[in-house]
């Protein structure tokens, strides 16, 4: 079996339907206490068509937005199959997002329906939706809440949305129509809606398969992938879509467990895995603790956060040959290494350009810098998103000719490998998730014990980076991590955004115009982290 590389010229639903027909041996395994599953793409397609028919019955049609706030369950794949079949737009939402984040996303996206569990990890989703509806604006466009599990008054039961029904033909959608919205944190205090079409999504899937030489080239048959990514993130969503289009074996975990991950690699003879440094370090720990064999892993991609060279060296000692990559929600994979690349390249670079990807390095005025000099990465390619949901963001995000300004600084080395040397965006990348410093700061400003605050990334061996808050306390007050945690929880903010390190200062460093000198705070955070590592 080999990928039809012309798949990018089809609608997403047509590609999903083709995948179900062409790959009857595909397999999706979900490891979950709550919703375990072992299904084929054909079974997902059958349920997805019924779900799509019911969506159309309740008034969801082409161009409408349907949010899916689910963990890594096979029901996510059924839902997006049905959404695509109805011609609607998929809106993956991080499962642990609280009411504040959810209210903004659903309002800006104009979501007409949302699919959630009844409860997961002690979260009552009906309550979260009620709180989101009570926010400014009230979400008048959100007509339907579809619940997996126990439905409540005012919600629709998932099982009823899968009941037998006459299934109409898939809705007509062009390859360049909007197919998926993904929200990502950046420099602003609110998430940014990244818009992808069928063409951009399927181009990314085709590029990934082409980079691996097509699935026929993999020794022992098609790829067997373990994905640790939640589907609210673009990496998780693409892994699940690719499994349906390409017919590979995909193993999912709805909660990360290092030892369980190592066991699954050994049991399913996993050949490919995309990780953050947090996942990779945990996998090595789990294999060592449980005595599990990781030798089947041939492709171990790690990225989405700074990758410590010591982690790659440790992986080498365990017989793995991890490589790095560079990408974002806006353009998921720009560069990618290979397990056969020299060790120094895998230690220090993000690999070489993916097929079809283009890159320039520009100065503050958008002009190309001299070859070999650092500049901001400007990107273009078939996988590039078509713009933000908020059109006001596009003017400063693109250069003439459709070049996307990434916010990262770097250059190509003499061999064509990408080096990332700095980051313009004021974000923290914790375990592969972008966190807006500004959003965290705005919450800290509201803390009764804090006069001023600034937030930066602090390096962390486990998560890559964590949120480090520098605060000036109000006279006679003493803010603590505990009181900050209570404040963030009360505000309905996802836990990963809560500061994990707090440093109290008499004043914040500023320049002559009063601007906080965050580069000094970052340097302080790095020095503090080195001191902690030396002590440990």
> What is the domain-level CATH number for residue 244?
3.40.50.12780
Q: In this structure, is residue 286 part of a structural domain?
A: no
- Tell me the mean pLDDT per 10 residues along the chain, length 536: 54 93 91 95 96 98 97 97 98 91 94 97 92 86 96 94 96 96 74 95 89 52 86 92 93 93 96 86 92 93 71 86 91 93 88 94 93 92 96 93 92 93 74 78 86 88 88 91 91 85 90 67 84 55
What is the count of structural domains for the chain?
A: 3
Q: 458 and 400, same structural domain?
A: no
Structure tokens at 458: 């602090």
Torsion 13-15-16-22 (CA) sign: positive
Q: In this structure, is residue 264 part of a structural domain?
A: no
Half-sphere exposure of 372 toward its Cβ, with a 13 Å CA cutoff? 2
State which of 231, 255, 279 marks the end of a domain. Answer: 255
Q: 119 and 144, same structural domain?
A: yes
Report the CATH number at residue 406: 2.30.38.10
Q: 196 and 143, same structural domain?
A: yes
Query: Helix, strand, coil shares of the chain as percentages rounded to 5?
Result: 35, 25, 40
Distance, in Å, from the CA atom of 75 to the CA atom of 110, rounded to the nearest integer, reads 23
Point out which residues pair with 420 in neighbouring strands: 410
Q: 373 and 242, same structural domain?
A: no
pLDDT value at residue 506? 92
Q: 82 and 220, same structural domain?
A: yes
Helix, strand, or coil (residue 2):
coil
| Contact by Cβ (8 Å): 226, 30 | no
Q: 358 and 229, same structural domain?
A: no
Q: 340 and 444, same structural domain?
A: no
Q: 494 and 432, same structural domain?
A: yes
Q: 153 and 82, same structural domain?
A: yes
State which of 374, 397, 423 marks the end of a domain. Answer: 423
Q: 164 and 179, same structural domain?
A: yes
Q: In this structure, is residue 16 part of a structural domain?
A: yes
Q: In this structure, is residue 302 part of a structural domain?
A: no
Distance, in Å, from the CA atom of 367 to the CA atom of 387, rounded to the nearest integer, reads 22
| Contact by Cβ (8 Å): 373, 362 | no
Half-sphere exposure of 378 toward its Cβ, with a 13 Å CA cutoff? 19
Q: 200 and 94, same structural domain?
A: yes
How many angstroms separate the Cα of 494 from the Cα of each of 101, 123, 263, 499, 525? 8, 11, 29, 11, 23
pLDDT value at residue 452? 83
Distance, in Å, from the CA atom of 40 to the CA atom of 28, rounded to the nearest integer, reads 6
Write the burial class of residue 96 (CB in 10 Å: 0-12 exposed, 13-18 middle, 19+ buried). Answer: middle
Q: In this structure, is residue 284 part of a structural domain?
A: no
Of 63, 62, 125, nearest to 98 by C-alpha is 125
| pTM metric for this prediction | 0.81
| Contact by Cβ (8 Å): 287, 440 | no
Q: Convert 122-136 to b/e letters by CB count within 10 Å (16 or more is b).
A: ebebbebbeebbebe
Q: In this structure, is residue 279 part of a structural domain?
A: no
Torsion 91-110-177-384 (CA) sign: negative
Distance, in Å, from the CA atom of 204 to the CA atom of 304, rounded to the nearest integer, reads 17
Of 69, 16, 19, 26, nearest to 230 by C-alpha is 69
Q: In this structure, is residue 281 part of a structural domain?
A: no
Domain range enclosing 448: 427-535
Q: 221 and 203, same structural domain?
A: yes
Query: What secondary structure does DSSP assign to 94-141, as a single string?
Result: -TT--HHHHHHHHHHHTEEEEEEESEETTEEHHHHHHHHHTSTT--TT
Q: In this structure, is residue 134 part of a structural domain?
A: yes
Report the CATH number at residue 509: 3.30.300.30
State which of 255, 288, 309 marks the end of a domain. Answer: 255
């Amino acid at each position: 079996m080999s990928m039809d590389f012309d798949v990018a010229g089809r609608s997403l639903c047509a590609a999903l339907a083709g995948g179900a027909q062409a790959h009857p041996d595909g397999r999706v395994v979900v490891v979950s206490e709550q919703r375990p599953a072992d299904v084929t793409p054909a079974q997902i397609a059958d349920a997805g068509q019924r779900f799509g028919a019911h969506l159309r019955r309740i008034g969801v049609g082409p161009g409408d937005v349907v949010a899916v706030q689910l963990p890594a369950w096979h029901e996510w794949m059924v839902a997006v199959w049905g959404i695509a079949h109805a011609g609607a737009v998929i809106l993956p939402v991080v499962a642990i997002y609280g009411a504040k984040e959810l209210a903004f996303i659903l309002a800006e996206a104009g979501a007409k329906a949302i699919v959630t569990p009844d409860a997961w990890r002690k979260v009552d989703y009906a309550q979260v939706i009620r709180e989101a509806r009570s926010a400014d604006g009230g979400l008048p466009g959100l007509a339907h809440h579809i619940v997996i599990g126990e439905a409540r008054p005012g919600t629709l039961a998932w099982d009823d949305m899968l009941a037998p029904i006459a299934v109409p033909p898939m809705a007509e959608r062009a390859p360049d129509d909007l197919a998926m919205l993904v929200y990502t944190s950046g420099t602003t205090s609110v998430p940014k809606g990244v818009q992808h079409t069928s063409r951009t999504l399927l181009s990314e899937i085709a590029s990934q398969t082409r980079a691996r030489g097509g699935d026929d080239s993999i020794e022992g048959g098609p790829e067997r992938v373990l994905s640790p990514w939640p589907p609210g993130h673009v990496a998780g969503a693409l892994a699940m879509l690719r499994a349906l289009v390409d017919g590979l074996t995909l193993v999912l975990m709805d909660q990360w467990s290092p030892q369980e991950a190592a066991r699954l690699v050994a049991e399913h003879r996993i050949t490919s895995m995309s990780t953050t440094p947090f996942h990779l370090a945990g996998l090595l720990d789990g294999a060592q603790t449980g005595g599990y064999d990781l030798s089947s892993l041939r492709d171990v991609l790690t990225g989405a956060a700074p990758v410590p060279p010591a982690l790659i060296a440790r992986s080498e000692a365990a017989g793995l040959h991890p490589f790095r990559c560079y990408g974002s929600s806006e353009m998921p994979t720009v560069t990618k290494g290979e397990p056969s690349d020299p060790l120094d390249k895998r230690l220090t670079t993000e690999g070489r350009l993916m097929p079809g990807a283009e890159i320039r390095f520009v100065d503050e005025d958008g002009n190309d810098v001299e070859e070999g000099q650092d500049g901001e990465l400007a990107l273009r390619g078939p996988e590039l998103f078509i713009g933000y949901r908020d059109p006001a963001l596009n003017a400063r995000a693109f250069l003439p000719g459709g070049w996307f300004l990434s916010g990262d600084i770097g250059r190509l080395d003499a061999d064509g490998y990408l080096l990332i040397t700095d980051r313009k965006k004021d974000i923290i990348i914790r375990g592969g998730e972008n966190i807006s410093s500004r959003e965290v700061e705005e919450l800290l400003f509201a803390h009764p014990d804090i006069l001023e605050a600034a937030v930066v990334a602090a390096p962390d061996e486990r998560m890559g980076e964590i949120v480090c808050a520098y605060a000036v306390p109000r006279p006679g007050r003493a803010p603590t991590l505990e009181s900050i945690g209570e404040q963030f929880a009360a505000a309905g903010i996802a836990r990963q955004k809560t500061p994990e390190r707090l440093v109290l200062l008499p004043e914040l460093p500023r320049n002559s115009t009063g601007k906080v000198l965050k580069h000094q705070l970052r340097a302080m955070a790095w020095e503090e982290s080195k001191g902690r590592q030396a002590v440990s």
